[in-house]
Structure 1
């Protein structure tokens, strides 16, 4: 997809340096992938807080199972 965006040069230059990308397109791909991943991690965190994980076995029971 082609997109026209007005982004400050200093922001692009810093992103290119940090991502070690050769092109602006590659830099933006890296930035978007990173942003999407961080948002998904936040969503998972919210889900875990609202619905905590429940473990079927205690730590000792797991140790015993692993030793069999």
Structure 2
């Protein structure tokens, strides 16, 4: 089964756990890059906060991603 992962600031991503997403809190750019690098092959979609998207940069194109509005 494919999973959805959410990466970004703790306060913005915590609630996604209730929907069954894999939540990877990342309050810094370094933490967002580390969370991205830790994604398993079972993750089909990644939801990013704008800050996390900025940190991940062009690597976001490696997977299906959605960026939350600011």
TM-score calculated relative to the size of structure 1: 0.22
**As a proportion of its length, which structure holds more helix?**
1
